[in-house]
Amino acid sequence: MRDVTSAPWNCDKGTIETSPDVLSGVSLPAAVIFEGSLAHNLEWMQRFATDHGARLAPHGKTTMTPALFQRQLDAGAWGITLATAPQCRAAFAHGVERLLMANQLVGEANMAIIAELIEAGADFYCVVDSVANVRHLGRYFAARGLRLQVLIELGVDGGRCGCRDQDEIMALAEMVDSEQALVLAGLEGYEGVVHGDNPEAGIRAYAWHLVEAAQALDHDGLIEVPAPLITASGSAWYDLIAEVFHEAHLGEHFVPVLRPGCYVVHDHGIYRLAQRGVLRRRPDLERGLEPALEVFAQVQSLPEPGLAVIALGKRDIGFDQLPQPLRRYREGGSADRVLSVAGWEVTKLMDQHAFVRLPEEASEAGNGEIRIGDIVAFGASHPCLTFDKWRHICLADERLNVIEVMTTCF
């Protein structure tokens, strides 16, 4: 993971020195979140969940950034979702008390981490989908004298984890009920593994399957908590999950929990495309989410006509889709002076280098002529795979003044 080795802030005094220059003093490449878009996204998604009678437990694996966890909680989040025991430990160490691990808890070393968190006061949930896992968890937590809250996971054929049908769910619930150290607290699922020719219909059907399974568990008295959870939703289809939960009037007895994570900074790729689908299905929603995360890097070589090599690579930015050049600035210049990257295309990404194909006019002399040291802003697809490359993330205002440096916990 890359670090920001020099920057215009005084960590001891907690103050930030502003500058008219673009990211003045920041060692590039650097990952930057824009405060305005971040604040908008936090408010937008929290309002969406509330309007649909649901709680929000953002998936923290996206950012693993405690300062962002706190912003999400301050905005009204019910808790934070994580994927692994060490992620849960990191979040709890930074003040997150309600942890939803949307994954199976496997391995005694990981169980030990969670046991310590529960002993320290964490309100913790994980998922189960097999008799073997239930028995192992039951033995381990009984030996520790603790009770573990679990959610049964509903999967789909050809997907990843999760029980495949209602009979499996009911049988597993009976097994959980037989383990004194385990408490069945509801049902969990993830719709992102649903595919087919008509994914919208498939996801709605999956959401209704979740609802019916949860109601069956409750009807048979197998859920042991007074306010059971039903939870699903990634960052692409959250609107469909929320609508089904709302239509089923789950809030009358269950606690519906949505778990999108990427919304906090959105992206310039797959989730931007997914958001267009949300707004097409729901034209009543205003404005939508905004890309808030960019990676800034400098032109380091112009080795031949039509080619620029940028000091940006797979170590710096996600690459499930190639990065998108967004804007360009002169080093030492003002954020008000934006230069064109029209026609620029990243064609190849290596560990520390991006190959950019340039249009003919990019090499012509004039005010927009490309120079060594020019600063280029890039958009990425799938923010999870950009955050994990950084120890620190810069939070900046619209003039590219760094106003905070946020530490990640990967």
pLDDT at 11: 31
Chain-centroid distance of CA 225 in Å reads 28
Show which of 222, 240, 260 is a domain's final residue.
260
Q: Which two tokens stand for residue 192?
A: 């992102």
Q: Which two tokens stand for residue 273?
A: 């495309």
Q: In this structure, are residues 116 and 92 in contact, taking their beta carbons and an 8 Å threshold? A: no
Neighbours of 242 (CB within 10 A): 23
pLDDT at 3: 58
Residue 307 belongs to a domain with what CATH number? 2.40.37.20
Sequence-distant (6+) residues with CB within 8 A of 272 are 266, 291
Report if residue 61 sits inside a domain: no
Residue 249 belongs to a domain with what CATH number? 3.20.20.10
Same domain, 105 and 251: yes
Total structural domains in the chain? 2
Report if residue 83 sits inside a domain: no
Same domain, 197 and 238: yes
Report if residue 71 sits inside a domain: no
Same domain, 237 and 300: no
Q: In this structure, are residues 277 and 297 in contact, taking their beta carbons and an 8 Å threshold? A: no
d(CA 239, CA 216): 24
pLDDT at 147: 98
Strand, coil or helix: 37: helix
Q: In this structure, are residues 120 and 92 in contact, taking their beta carbons and an 8 Å threshold? A: yes
pLDDT at 10: 34
End-to-end CA distance of the chain: 9
pLDDT at 19: 61
| Torsion angle (degrees, nearest 10) of CA 147, 148, 151, 153 | -130
Q: In this structure, are residues 345 and 323 in contact, taking their beta carbons and an 8 Å threshold? A: no
Same domain, 347 and 304: yes
Report if residue 72 sits inside a domain: no
Domain enclosing residue 24, as ranges:
9-33+289-407
pLDDT at 206: 96
Same domain, 236 and 309: no
d(CA 395, CA 408): 13
Same domain, 22 and 142: no
Same domain, 144 and 28: no
Same domain, 232 and 300: no
pLDDT in tens, the chain (410 residues): 655 544 443 333 233 445 668 898 999 999 999 999 999 999 999 999 999 999 999 999 999 999 999 999 999 999 999 999 999 999 999 999 999 999 999 999 999 999 999 999 999 999 999 999 999 999 999 999 999 999 999 999 999 999 999 999 999 999 999 999 999 999 999 999 998 889 999 999 999 999 999 999 999 999 999 999 999 999 999 999 999 999 999 878 899 999 999 999 999 999 999 999 999 999 999 889 999 999 999 999 999 999 999 999 999 999 999 999 999 999 999 999 999 999 999 999 999 999 999 998 775 555 579 999 999 999 999 999 999 999 999 999 999 999 999 999 99
C-alpha radius of gyration, the chain, whole number: 23
- The full DSSP string for 222-270 is ---SSS-EEEE--SSSHHHHHHHHHHTTGGGTSEEEE---GGGT--SSH
Same domain, 294 and 256: no
Show which of 260, 276, 308 is a domain's final residue.
260
d(CA 266, CA 275): 9
Q: Which sign does the torsion angle of CA 103, 107, 111, 114 carry?
A: negative
Report if residue 40 sits inside a domain: no
Going by C-alpha positions, the residue among 383, 377, 331 that lies closest to residue 354 is 377
Taking every pair of Cα atoms in the chain, the longest distance, rounded to a whole number of angstroms, is: 77
- The full DSSP string for 368-389 is T---TT-EEEEE-S-THHHHTT
Report if residue 80 sits inside a domain: no
d(CA 357, CA 351): 18
Q: Which amino acid is at 181?
A: A
Q: Which two tokens stand for residue 72?
A: 């999400």
Same domain, 138 and 255: yes
pLDDT at 1: 64
pLDDT at 196: 85
Report if residue 60 sits inside a domain: no
Same domain, 294 and 249: no
Report if residue 170 sits inside a domain: yes
pLDDT at 286: 86
Q: In this structure, are residues 45 and 239 in contact, taking their beta carbons and an 8 Å threshold? A: no
Q: In this structure, are residues 105 and 118 in contact, taking their beta carbons and an 8 Å threshold? A: no
Q: Which two tokens stand for residue 284?
A: 């009543």
Same domain, 228 and 167: yes
pLDDT at 251: 79
